[in-house]
Amino acid sequence: MWTRKFGLAAAAALVVTSPAQAAMSCWNETQTAAAQVRNLQSRLMVASLRCVAMGHDVTPAYNRFVRASRATIQGANGVIMAQFRAGHGGAAQLHYDRFATMLANAYGADDTTEQVCAETAMIADEAARAAGDARRLVEIADRLGAAPQLPGGRCGLSFAAAAGVSPN
């Protein structure tokens, strides 16, 4: 009983003494592109796993994509992690992991047919030929459809602000 009370008191003290974290801010163009690359990687990874489970091994195409884009994927993950650090401080890893899991889970229940597996292999091969070119990978991701949900949303565009003009 005493241990439980001490644990609760210690937890309360940590909450009181820890600095407040900044709210998750909107995602700029670079951060959004990083999320799109990560989403593409998640989509291809999950589809590859589903296809293998159905007896259609498309992992060679997926692996070519990962090898060709390793530095870009790692860079994208670094940009995403920095966004979570800015919004969540010491809890960034937890929020990043939740985000990555959400991306993968979005594709877990997709249909898995021979046609889907063939398309997955073609997309992975196209992504591999992009050779880590982030713009080309974002174009592929855009062509495939829905962008990932971004905690804090996407930053809006304001040409007036960019040009230094007052909106009034």
Query: Binning pLDDT at 50, 70 and 90, where does residue 111 land?
Result: confident
Please report which confidence band the pLDDT of residue 14 belongs to, taking 50, 70 and 90 as the band edges. Answer: very low
pLDDT tens across 59-95, in order?
A: 999 999 999 999 999 999 999 999 999 999 999 999 9
Q: pTM score > 0.85 for this model?
A: no
Domain residue spans in the chain? 29-144
Q: What is the pLDDT of residues 19-38, one digit of tens each?
A: 434 578 899 999 999 999 99
pLDDT the model gives residue 158: 64
Q: How far is CA 94 from CA 31, 32, 80, in A?
A: 18, 19, 13
Exposed / middle / buried, residue 120 (Cβ in 10 Å: 0-12, 13-18, 19+): buried
Find the helix or strand (DSSP H, E) in which 46 lies.
helix 29-53
Is 60 exceeded by the pLDDT of residue 10? no
